[in-house]
Amino acid sequence: MTGDRNNWKQLAAGKEAFIFDLDGVLVDTATFHYRAWRRLANELGFDFSMQQNELLKGVSRMQSLEQVLTWGRMQQAGLDKEHLAEKKNAWYLELVERMGPDDVLPGVLAFLRAAKATGIRTALGSASKNARLILDRTGLQGYFDAVIDGNAVVLSKPHPEVFLRAAEALGAAPDACLVFEDAQAGIDAAKAAGMSAVGIGSGTALQRADLVVAGLADLKID
């Protein structure tokens, strides 16, 4: 059923608002997060796999750090967690600084423009505190009626706060919202908010999504 046109049409029918995750949906920063967390883990003397990394997607910076330290059995090591999180973020930002409009993922601009043209309201719903910086660097900032990011929410995905805040900002009821997400935590957050969800990536990694596609380039708005 991946990318099935009829499923997509059914899912999009009657939706008033689209809410987009950022990292891994609009831009390929999910790989940057992975590289920076791995660099930190390696410096601390351990490693973790791409499969483990799936659990970091959509999760806030400090919660991700807790998870990484648990994998390295370093929770009791008396480490300065704020310092470690800052270090990871600095490495991550080195990668972000090199980004530009060419780093927007295939099909994203066409999809956002088509959504706007059909009167659909759009919001960003991201756990990242760097979301606005990335929108600016890639030229995506003008495409959203509302931006709810890691600076605006207290509770991390899979809690539905970020998506409920986005729906509220757009004046849309949850069941009229469609969320686009590459993280299991994000799909779970959308479902907890009472919204439909399109998974971006692989079906095996994204349980409970109403539809899974490889990227927004696979979806056309009529």
CB of 6 to Mg ion, least distance (A): 26
Give the containing element (helix H, strand E) for 29: helix 29-44
Helices (H) then strands (E): counts for the chain? 9, 6
Q: What angle (nearest 5°) sits at the alpha carbon of residue 202, between those of residues 138 and 61?
A: 55
SS3 87: helix
Q: Considering only 71-79, 126-134, 165-173, 204-212, which stretch makes contact with ligand G6P by CB under 6 A?
A: 126-134
| d(C-alpha 114, C-alpha 172), whole Å | 19
Phi, psi of 194 (to 5 degrees): 80, 30
Q: How many CB atoms lie within 10 A of CB 141?
A: 14
**Contact status: 103 vs Mg ion (CB under 5 A):** no
Q: From the list 25, 60, 153, 197, which residue makes contact with ligand G6P (rule: CB under 6 A)? A: 60
CA distances from residue 218 to 3, 34, 83 in whole angstroms, order as listed: 6, 25, 41
**Contact status: 26 vs Mg ion (CB under 5 A):** no
**Contact status: 21 vs Mg ion (CB under 5 A):** yes
Q: Considering only 44-52, 58-66, 165-173, 204-212, which stretch makes contact with ligand G6P by CB under 6 A?
A: 58-66
Q: From the list 17, 20, 41, 64, which residue makes contact with ligand G6P (rule: CB under 6 A)? A: 64
Task: Pick out residues in 108-167 that bind Mg ion (CB under 5 A).
Answer: none
Active-site residue (options: 23, 149, 182, 218) = 23
**Contact status: 129 vs ligand G6P (CB under 6 A):** yes
**Active-site residue, 28 included:** no
Task: Pick out residues in 142-201 that bind ligand G6P (CB under 6 A).
Answer: 150, 183
The tokens for 222 are 């009529």
Tell me the catalytic residues: 21, 23
Query: Binding residues for ligand G6P, per CB under 6 A?
Result: 23, 30, 33, 56-61, 64, 89, 126-130, 150, 183
